[in-house]
A = this chain, B = another copy of it.
Amino acid sequence: MPVSDMVRSYPADLGEIDRDALVKCIEECLACAQSCTACADACLSESDEQLPMLRKCIRSNLDCADVCETTARVLSRHTGYDANITREVLQACATVCRSCADECGQHASQHEHCRVCAEQCRRCEEACNTLVTSLG
């Protein structure tokens, strides 16, 4: 993915943001959005016995996919930068990733897709927290 190429070729000053943390966070948000969309769908394909236990997991996945996608978009824009917006969006994203990781984590031993998705949510939560911290 050319995330770092796009950040590097930005024609104006990026300010004091940590570029490596920014690139990492955009990449993790995109990966997490995809994992969550796919995990929600994989949950839907589980057996009639399993499916009712996965309601909350599917809903968490759908919320997490939406918030991660929007976070990746907000982070990909630097013109007219507003640190308050970035910070609040990142905090909401870290919260929804943690919640989804916890929920998927409860099904990780039974469903491989939940295990992979929980790990991706943890990586995304961490990347959001690292970037928030670097914003000062």
Residues on A facing B (Cβ under 8 Å): 1-3, 5-7, 9-12, 26-27, 30-31, 33-35, 37-42, 44-46, 48, 51-52, 55-60, 62-63, 65-67, 69-70, 72-74, 76-80, 82, 84-85, 88-89, 91-92, 95-96, 99, 103, 111-113, 115-117, 119-120
> Complex Cα distance A129/B81, Å?
23
- Stoichiometry, as copies per complex, reads 4
Can you name 24 A-B residue pairings with CB atoms under 8 Å? A1-B30, A1-B31, A1-B34, A2-B31, A3-B38, A6-B35, A9-B42, A9-B112, A11-B45, A11-B111, A12-B45, A26-B34, A30-B33, A38-B77, A41-B62, A44-B58, A44-B59, A45-B79, A51-B51, A56-B79, A56-B80, A59-B80, A63-B82, A69-B69
